């Protein structure tokens, strides 16, 4: 669906009117400014559902014109490397060039760990080739601090926010699977009806929203079919090695779900 095209049969704005009035040939009292704001609030909700469901194939808005990868120079003695907050929602992984110019993926370290706190607070005095990174605010902090520089030496993969509509948009479309575009006018119409006392419209809107939400979550949680879940054996001895002096060594296995 397009935001506000001449062809009302594929129009998000026209569908908002339909869900408010119950008729496709009647315009509601919802002005374009309100439609735009409500549609963008709907995009926020849908973005959240997608990010929550899409754990293997990291979704990116189809309206974006470049890849969600930020590359910057690695600078000697510089630990902090930022991403503008308007660009990202999640950091996925961080790579750094070693002295030979090869990218190496760094290991994420929790800010809640003692090591993570030392890195983020710049109390880690080690220098060398970075091996770890800590996320804090809109920055990643490298540890150890680099003792060399490298052009385009830091590469950050991330997920970014959804692309919003403006009041002047006509043929602009939501940047996700078209099968679920109708969630946008459904959410927008529900918010309008709830705010304007049209409570008789809410049950049918809630029913349709629940149906589309369930389908969207199912789609995005299962679309990476080339990465099936696997089962592996993990060996546990439950302290048996400590009993070898008693001659009671034993070993057991359990199933662990691998994603």
pLDDT at 252 over 50: no
Q: What pLDDT score was predicted for residue 238?
A: 42
pLDDT digits (tens, 9 = 90+) for 206-247: 999 999 999 999 988 876 444 554 444 444 444 444 444 444
| pTM given for the model | 0.72
The average pLDDT across 240-256 equals 43
Q: What pLDDT score was predicted for residue 242?
A: 42
Q: What pLDDT score was predicted for residue 162?
A: 85
Better-scored residue on pLDDT, 259 or 48: 48
Whole-number Å distance between alpha carbons of 111 and 108: 9
Q: What pLDDT score was predicted for residue 60?
A: 78
In percent, how much of the chain has pLDDT > 90?
56
53-62, 109-118, 237-246 — most confident range: 109-118
Q: What pLDDT score was predicted for residue 259?
A: 40
């Amino acid at each position: 669906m397009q935001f506000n095209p001449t062809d009302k049969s594929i129009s998000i704005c026209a569908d908002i009117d339909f869900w408010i009035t119950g008729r496709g040939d009647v315009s509601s009292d919802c002005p374009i400014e309100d439609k735009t704001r409500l549609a963008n609030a709907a995009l926020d909700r849908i973005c959240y559902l997608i990010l929550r469901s899409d754990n293997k194939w990291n979704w990116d808005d189809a309206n974006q014109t470049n890849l969600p990868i930020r590359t910057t120079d690695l600078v000697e003695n510089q630990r902090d490397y930022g991403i503008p907050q308007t660009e990202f929602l999640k950091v996925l992984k961080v790579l750094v060039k070693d002295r030979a110019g090869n990218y190496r993926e760094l290991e994420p370290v929790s800010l809640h760990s003692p090591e993570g706190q030392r890195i983020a607070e710049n109390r880690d005095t080690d220098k060398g080739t970075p091996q770890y990174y800590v996320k804090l605010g809109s920055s990643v902090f490298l540890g150890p601090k680099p003792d060399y520089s490298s052009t385009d030496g830091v590469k950050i993969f991330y997920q970014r926010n959804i692309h919003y509509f403006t009041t002047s948009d006509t043929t602009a479309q939501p940047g996700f699977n078209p099968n679920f575009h109708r969630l946008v006018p459904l959410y927008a119409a529900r918010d309008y009806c709830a705010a304007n006392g049209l409570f008789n419209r809410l049950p049918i809107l809630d029913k349709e929203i629940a149906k589309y939400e369930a389908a969207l979550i199912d789609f995005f949680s299962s679309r990476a079919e080339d990465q099936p879940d696997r089962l592996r054996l993990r060996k546990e001895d439950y302290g048996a090695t400590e009993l070898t002096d008693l001659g009671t060594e034993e070993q057991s296995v359990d199933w662990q779900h691998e994603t």
